Structure 1
Amino acid sequence: MDRKTFIRNSLGGIALATATPHLIYSESIQNPDPVDVKLVKEFVSAGHGDIKKVKEMLAEQPNLIYSRYDWGNGDFEEAIEGAGHVGNKEVAEYLISQGARVNLFVLTMLGKIELVKPILEMYPDLIFAKGPHGFTLLHHAKVGAQNEFYDYLIDKGLNKMQIEIR
């Protein structure tokens, strides 16, 4: 083999070796199969209070922790949010330990006021935000027995436990 053929073949091989893993990898992450909507609904429902089922389902399908169910009209909910609006601290803490995404509503229910208050001071309109099913921060403070924060929200003008999702 002469030098010119060797260089041409080498460059072609390098290009192929470099591109192949990228093509295989990008294809696998661009087109994953969606999680079955019935499974998502079952997991989100369990998140409201069935810690045993939550643990079992996560053991089988760890990515359920990121799944959201649409109850209709854009009323999306994750399992951790279900735990949040019913005041189930055990389920919420477990899901957080497994990597669930937390939000102001769940943090309010858990009494993490030192995290919530600065955000509300910076973005005061968030006091009137709606969580799943339209439950407000006031609702989450009540179900979490966060009486001092409940009073703080009332003082800031929030007087509704739930606001209709349009």
Structure 2
Amino acid sequence: MNRSQFIKTGIGSAGTLMFPVTSVFSQPFSEKTQLDKKIVAEFVGAGHGKFDKVKELLEEYPTLLNAAHDWKNGDFETALGAASHVGYKELATFLIDKGAQANIFTAALFGRIDIIKPTLSFFPNALHAKGPHGFTLLHHAERGGDEAKEVKDYLISLGATETKIQLY
């Protein structure tokens, strides 16, 4: 192949490759690609204790289930995170049953030592992880009451002392 053939082939191939890419990116984005931030804030806020409001909003906007609100400075929270740190087990269970993404903080709330031990064994620094608003695993275990006493004692045995860590 000589230089002239290479250039013609290269330009022709580039045009073929660019056409589908250009056509994909020239499509306007749907207005439904991002949840309204005010609705997300309302949903997450309701997760702190307004069960009926959470159900109402989730029925109207099912994709809110795992939406996170940014309270600023990297303090992200979901409705499940809110229910977990305030100890609202009934709401947390409802959200999990709907498919919400549970994490180690929710496991601590529910006293799930079978989840906490292997997780901290694999990720020991998670003992000092900050959940929403800086609440720690120990805080969540304390909110879990008697059901989470074994987790609370275990966390303390590993050196957990603080229930809230300053975020900023």
How do 1:1-166 and structure 2 match up within 5 A?
32-145=32-145, 146-166=148-168
Question: Structure 1-normalised TM-score?
Answer: 0.80
Deviation at 1:142, TM superposition (A): 0.2
- DSSP-derived class of the 2:69 partner: strand
CA distance in 1, matches of 2:144, 2:28: 42
Cα separation, partners in 2 of 1:117 and 1:36, compared to 1, 3 Å: same
Gaps of 5+ in 1: 1-18
Q: Deviations over 1:109-129 (max 9, x none)?
A: 012221121111111111111
CA distance in 2, matches of 1:31, 1:60: 17
Cα separation, partners in 2 of 1:79 and 1:112, compared to 1, 3 Å: same
Question: Structure 2-normalised TM-score?
Answer: 0.79
In structure 2, what is the equivalent of residue 4 of structure 1? none
Amino acid across the alignment from 1:165: L
- DSSP-derived class of the 1:66 partner: coil
In structure 2, what is the equivalent of residue 11 of structure 1? none
Q: Deviations over 1:45-102 (max 9, x none)?
A: 1111111111111110000112111111110000000000000001100001111111
RMSD over aligned CA atoms reads 2.2
CA distance in 2, matches of 1:102, 1:71: 20
Q: Deviations over 1:8-38 (max 9, x none)?
A: xxxxxxxxxxx8xxx59xx688874321111
Aligned residues: 145
CA distance in 2, matches of 1:158, 1:121: 14
- DSSP-derived class of the 2:167 partner: coil
CA distance in 1, matches of 2:150, 2:128: 18
CA distance in 1, matches of 2:137, 2:28: 39
Identity over the aligned pairs, expressed in percent? 46
CA distance in 2, matches of 1:33, 1:114: 38
Deviation at 1:138, TM superposition (A): 0.3
CA distance in 2, matches of 1:88, 1:156: 26
Amino acid across the alignment from 2:47: G
Cα separation, partners in 2 of 1:89 and 1:28, compared to 1, 3 Å: farther
Is the CA contact 2:84–2:92 (under 8 Å) kept in the aligned structure 1?
A: yes
